[in-house]
Amino acid sequence: MFQAFTITSGKGGVGKTTLTVNLGISLALLNRETCILDADIGMANMALILGMDEVPVTLHEVLAGKADIEDAVYEGPAGVKVVPSGISLQGFQQADPDKLRDVMHKLVDQCEFLLIDAPSGISKEGVVPLSVADQVILVVNPELASMADALKTKILCEVMGGNVYGAILNRAGQEHTELRSQSVEDVLGVRVIDVVPEDASVRRAAAYKTPCVLKYPNTDASRAFRRIAAQMSGVEYKEETGDPGQEGFVDRLARAVFR
């Protein structure tokens, strides 16, 4: 069954694109036909994360009417399909975000899961992905500014007739000043799908242009990405560390929050 998820946030810098990439690869590792689409046509960086910044055709050319979507689909790590956006301002100016609906419909037959990395904030480019997906996932950091902007995005999504699947609390630490899962649920009025901890391995993996779930599969962040993918695909999450008796921080945190 085809499912399209728009992954969005109220503000930039919350780790939305990194989450989309790692979640998409985690779904592919579960043998789910998965495609990740960079719909942030103005500030695209999925191609940079995956080392695809020099591919000949991107979503920019498709939205400008210069290429077919099939020409912009590339095979990424673990077999995930990737539709990157270009990084040039000229390509952005020529792209028509209204054509994103047609792009999504053409991708339906090519995958089971379509993850759309949407632009942050409220704009024409950001509104379209909210209305075309089956479900919307809000990415928030444990801070008030991120929460306030996520709430605006949630309200906009509902006005557009979209369905919010839930929120992911990303880059969470252990400071007492940080917002916790219950606070996020109370403010946003949606469930917290899971918690992804602040993890230096995510940044280290990005420097190698290799997603964290592949470069550092046994870190707390990678385990969180795999756990979310398992939940989305309806399978039981199984820990795959070399020492199954060793429980990471995010596992302990999730067990405490979701028991």
What domains lie within the chain, and their CATH numbers? 3-239+246-258 (3.40.50.300)
Under DSSP, the state recorded for 180 is: -
Strand order across the 81-83 sheet: 74-75, 81-83, 34-38, 113-117, 3-8, 135-140, 164-172, 192-197
Q: Cβ(127)–Cβ(98) under 8 Å?
A: no
Please state which of the ranges 6-10, 102-106, 219-223 shows the lowest mean pLDDT: 102-106
Alpha carbon distance 254, 181 (integer Å): 10
Residue 255 has pLDDT above 60, yes or no: no
Residue type, 58: T
Residue 177's contacts (CB-CB under 8 Å, 6 or more residues apart) are none
Burial of 141-162, coded b for 16+ CB within 10 Å and e otherwise, reads: bbeeebbebbbebbebbeeeeb
- Return d(Cα 55, Cα 57) in angstroms, integer: 6
DSSP helix/strand/coil, 1: coil
**237: number of Cβ within 10 Å:** 16
Give the DSSP H/E element, type plus range, for residue 83: strand 81-83
* pLDDT above 90 coverage of the chain, percent: 63
| Average pLDDT value for residue range 74-95 | 90
How far apart CA 218 and CA 225 sit, in angstroms, is 11
Calculate the CA 214 to chain-centre distance.
16
- pLDDT of amino acid 92: 80
Residues in the chain: 259
- pLDDT score recorded for residue 90: 77
The pLDDT of residue 176 is: 58
**Residue 145 carries which side chain, given as an amino acid letter?**
A
Residue 89 banded pLDDT, cuts 50, 70, 90: confident
**pLDDT tens-place string over residues 92-127:** 888 888 898 888 888 877 899 999 999 987 766 778
Most confident range (mean pLDDT) of 9-13, 175-179, 245-249 is 9-13
In the three-class reduction of DSSP (H, G, I as helix; E, B as strand; rest coil), residue 113 is classed as: strand
With a cut of 50, say whether residue 143 has pLDDT above it.
Answer: yes
- Mean pLDDT rounded to a whole number for the chain: 87
Residue 205 has pLDDT above 90, yes or no: yes
What's the pLDDT at 253?
43
